[in-house]
Structure 1
Amino acid sequence: MLRFLPLKLGRLYRCLKLLLVLGLSVVLLMNTHTLFASFQKNELTDRRFLNLNKCPACFGTSWCRKFMNGQVSFETWGRLRFLDIFNVKNVFFAQYGEPREGTRRIVLKRLGSNQELADIDQKICKRATGRPRCDLIQAMYKTEFARLNGDVRLLTPDVVEGWSDLVHCPSQRLLDRIVRRYAETKDSGSFLLKNLKDTERMQLLMTLAFNPEPLVLQSFPSDEGWPFAKYLGACGRMVAVNYVGEELWSFYHAPWEKRVDLAKQLMDIAEQLTNNDFDFALYLLDVSFDNFAVGPRDGKVIVVDAENVVVADKRLIKQNKPENYDVWYESKFEECDKEACLSFSKDMLCSRVTVDHNYYAICQNLLSRYATWRGSRGGLLHDPPAHIAKDGQLEAMLEECANPKKRYGRFAAAKELREYLTQLSGAAR
């Protein structure tokens, strides 16, 4: 009797699969008119769809004219709203057109799931009225987001410290940079908070507290060589950024020479974000294959998810001299059976001048044998050519970079790995 069990389960699976297909077909047939309407209508001109009606409890309005003029439209499948159940992160691909420049692909983000956005509304209402539902626009003026309205001169660390990763340990220099480069105002360029309108201040603060990714992209722009996607603008709760290219995971099985080049770029990003002329250390807390993308033309690797970035001001650390500030900090390796695992202390990242976190994150989660993603293990540099595998040099450097056995071993291994990958890239050309 037991020998027939797998057969019965197989038939049951096929029946369920057939029923699912038939069910979807029925839904499509019943909603044919709605589907045609979806393809004809541009929802990105709808104020309520953009949540523009909730401003200033939103991310900005700098791109509203472009949305309302129909210059931004979803790509084909993005117009079908019933597919949103699979789009938990609320990230959409769209086309943006300029009369003289033609159209180009961009990415639209709501910066959170529908539930997370609903939770924000509820929190605002509870803080303002004590009730879960309210007039959101009126409620905003009774929250901490409106505290700085009026003639307040500066955005200071004591007001926003700990609101999000970006300002886990803010310096006045960082906050001045955020305000000065705030793109959702016509009067950008001044670090004086009082030069912003009341609504603009509240939008800036809400973005800082809810998801600071737009402020990271504005404060450390791609135009100046930072490895982030370019920020374009916002309308309501829809933010537009430049489309970079396919996610890094698409290159997992690319030719060895291509993967070596990508690995070198990743280590270069780790170095740039850790040590730069601005003395800001940007530590990536969420490092996975889908948080990086590769340009189709130049092959450049770019960070496409900058929500979880801690920014430490090295000048402030040197000035305040907290305990052991000048002792090199080594991130502790912890192997786990989940994807994209990282072990870190935000407070340590904020109190040491020399930190190996970015090298650790890239090596462990993207390059080494410990990297696990979508059921695959082995990292971007898996299955090297026979002569490289036989040499053992690469494997040793990756192991020491991810899981160092010597004191300060990761620092040395990261430097050696960058140089080694540079040599391999040069030899492949």
Structure 2
Amino acid sequence: MGQWGLGELGSGALQWPHQRQGQTLPTAPRSPCRSENMLRFLSLKFGRLYRCLKFLLLVGLFVILVMNTHNLFASFQRNELTDRRFINLNKCPACFGTSWCRKFMNGQVSFETWGRLRFLDFFNVKNVHFAQYGEPREGTRRIVLKRLGSNQELGDIDQKICKRATGRPRCDLIQAMYKTEFARLNGDVRLLTPDVVEGWSDLVHCPSQRLLDRVVRRYAETKDSGSFLLKNLKDTERMQLLMTLAFNPEPLVLQSFPSDEGWPFAKYLGACGRMVAVNYVGEELWSFYNAPWEQRVDLARQLMDIAEQLTNNDFDFALYLLDVSFDNFAVGPRDGKVIVVDAENVIVADKRLIRQNKPENYDVWYESRVEDCDKEACLSFSKDILCSRVTVDHNYYAVCQNLLSRYSTWRGTTGGLLHDPPADVAKDGHLEALLDECTKPKKHYGRYQAAKELREYLAQLSNNVR
């Protein structure tokens, strides 16, 4: 619709036809015309005001940009990852490790272009950054840097450490660490035991000695890894391990269940201060929501395989994913392999310990219940039940409901990764029936059988489209 110009309104755009001499024109109601003119006038005024404000905003941004040109150029030129305070190396041992500090200090790690602009951190609540890592012989490759929490969460942990040590919210953080439970396990204690750390985080919600020995033995932030004895760790290393375990155990999950041994997690590289480096996997799963059907079928098959591997494996550890969404998985650009890239909320249950202790109903198959939720990608579960049953269908339920089925919701969309199947698949109805039974089973233990058949059916579909 065209806009009224000021000249058109001023010159009387709405006029009666030419009046003959001596002829009296009939009197017409004037209020509608006045109302219409008034609306057009106000519309014009508001339109001009909007354009004026928009222009002033652009001018303001340009002025700010010009005034900060030097700072912007400096942001691109300097490498903040060599700054001890920026990566919080000055807060160690209240940090996540130091194994990669030499690489950081040598300038081998640097933010990618836009990651160097600090004002963009306002939008980066999760504190996840893309960076480049260079080795003389290997060249440069992309990695991911994580602070393992928001600035607010990191500030809260500092306050908690100070309050536990001094009763005040602010203190000398380094000195305070030596007065907390993180420092009480000195070199005389041989083992990290369940009674010390149970419930600190999801990883150790129900820890076994076998799990904790594995965590200590594979701890990558020490030069003498390979031993499950705490006495082989330095005081600072023990405190770093325990703080990571309590604050965000994701690095310990990646180290204890490494990708090099076939576990579906991103590869842990190292840490410096409160910056952890992991291997860049690829684009997030959400980027493939509208990929070709054959590719989505293959991704769905891999997701179900991950659910099976984490539930049943030769090590008798069940790893239950408590946070399952499209953002927590990524796909390799070359091999198309699906990898878990957010392992903070993972419960590890030791099936051998469950069989040994035999808690009530330990050998009864557990069926996860679906409950209505007004949030996206939510799940219903009981941590205590996950820790006390040998056979649990949680991972199948989580993948089917939040990623694959028509009940999946994410970023305002519904339908899941397997939306809009080809006509022959839709007509057959078998895929939809399996997804429905995997999500909201109608039969007793129906999800177990549906998950098994779904994996087989997706494998069959993948073979048919190759």
Name the TM tier (shorter chain).
over 0.9
How far 1:24 sits from its partner (Å)?
3.2
Structure 1: which 5+ runs fail to align? none
Provide the aligned C-alpha RMSD in A. Answer: 1.7
2:245 is the counterpart of 1:201: no
Q: Is the 8 A contact 2:132 2:143 kept in 1?
A: yes
Where 2:295 maps in the other structure, the secondary structure is: helix
Q: Which has the larger radius of gyration?
A: 2
Where 1:108 maps in the other structure, the secondary structure is: strand
Q: Is the 8 A contact 1:57 1:140 kept in 2?
A: yes
Q: For residues 263-313 of structure 1, what are the alpha-carbon distances to aligned partners after superposition, in whole Å with 9 as ceiling and x for unaligned?
A: 000000000000000000000000000000000000000000000000000
**How many Å separate the matches in 1 of 2:408 and 2:45?**
38
What percentage of residue pairs aligned between the two structures are identical? 90
How far 1:16 sits from its partner (Å)?
6.2
How many aligned positions are there? 429
How far 1:27 sits from its partner (Å)?
2.3
Q: For 1:140-159, list aligned pairs within 5 A.
A: 140-159=177-196
**How many Å separate the matches in 1 of 2:362 and 2:44?**
65
**How many Å separate the matches in 1 of 2:114 and 2:258?**
30
Q: For residues 302-343 of structure 1, what are the alpha-carbon distances to aligned partners after superposition, in whole Å with 9 as ceiling and x for unaligned?
A: 000000000000000000000000000011011323211100
Q: For residues 133-178 of structure 1, what are the alpha-carbon distances to aligned partners after superposition, in whole Å with 9 as ceiling and x for unaligned?
A: 0000000000000010231100000000000000000000000000
**How many Å separate the matches in 2 of 1:226 and 1:286?**
17
- The normalised TM-score by structure 1 is 0.97
**How many Å separate the matches in 2 of 1:178 and 1:295?**
27
Q: Is the 8 A contact 1:95 1:103 kept in 2?
A: yes
Q: For residues 34 and 386 of structure 1, do their structure 2 counterparts lie closer, same or farther at Cα, with a shift above 3 Å needed?
A: same
Q: Is the 8 A contact 2:187 2:230 kept in 1?
A: no
Where 2:182 maps in the other structure, the secondary structure is: helix
Aligned to 1:3: 40
Q: Is the 8 A contact 2:253 2:343 kept in 1?
A: yes
Bigger mean CA deviation after superposition, 60-69 or 23-32: 23-32
**How many Å separate the matches in 2 of 1:410 and 1:9?**
59
Q: Is the 8 A contact 1:154 1:192 kept in 2?
A: yes
Q: Is the 8 A contact 1:252 1:380 kept in 2?
A: yes
Q: For 1:15-414, list aligned pairs within 5 A.
A: 20-414=57-451
Where 2:104 maps in the other structure, the secondary structure is: helix
Bigger mean CA deviation after superposition, 390-399 or 332-341: 332-341
How far 1:222 sits from its partner (Å)?
0.1
How far 1:25 sits from its partner (Å)?
2.9
Q: For residues 102-159 of structure 1, what are the alpha-carbon distances to aligned partners after superposition, in whole Å with 9 as ceiling and x for unaligned?
A: 0000000000000100000000000000000000000000000001023110000000
Q: Is the 8 A contact 1:335 1:370 kept in 2?
A: no
Where 1:165 maps in the other structure, the secondary structure is: coil
Bigger mean CA deviation after superposition, 184-193 or 330-339: 330-339
How far 1:367 sits from its partner (Å)?
0.3
Q: For residues 352-381 of structure 1, what are the alpha-carbon distances to aligned partners after superposition, in whole Å with 9 as ceiling and x for unaligned?
A: 000000000000000001111111111000
Q: For residues 214-271 of structure 1, what are the alpha-carbon distances to aligned partners after superposition, in whole Å with 9 as ceiling and x for unaligned?
A: 0000000000000000000000000000000000000000000000000000000000
Q: For residues 403 and 23 of structure 1, do their structure 2 counterparts lie closer, same or farther at Cα, with a shift above 3 Å needed?
A: farther
**How many Å separate the matches in 2 of 1:65 and 1:6?**
63
**How many Å separate the matches in 2 of 1:414 and 1:150?**
47
Q: For residues 71 and 368 of structure 1, do their structure 2 counterparts lie closer, same or farther at Cα, with a shift above 3 Å needed?
A: same
How far 1:3 sits from its partner (Å)?
10
Where 2:203 maps in the other structure, the secondary structure is: helix
Q: For residues 154 and 3 of structure 1, do their structure 2 counterparts lie closer, same or farther at Cα, with a shift above 3 Å needed?
A: farther
Q: For residues 144 and 254 of structure 1, do their structure 2 counterparts lie closer, same or farther at Cα, with a shift above 3 Å needed?
A: same
Q: For residues 316 and 28 of structure 1, do their structure 2 counterparts lie closer, same or farther at Cα, with a shift above 3 Å needed?
A: same
**How many Å separate the matches in 2 of 1:41 and 1:78?**
12
**How many Å separate the matches in 2 of 1:413 and 1:285?**
21
Q: For residues 88 and 6 of structure 1, do their structure 2 counterparts lie closer, same or farther at Cα, with a shift above 3 Å needed?
A: farther
Bigger mean CA deviation after superposition, 18-27 or 262-271: 18-27
Q: For residues 353 and 35 of structure 1, do their structure 2 counterparts lie closer, same or farther at Cα, with a shift above 3 Å needed?
A: same
How far 1:26 sits from its partner (Å)?
2.9
**How many Å separate the matches in 2 of 1:342 and 1:5?**
51
Q: Is the 8 A contact 2:266 2:278 kept in 1?
A: yes
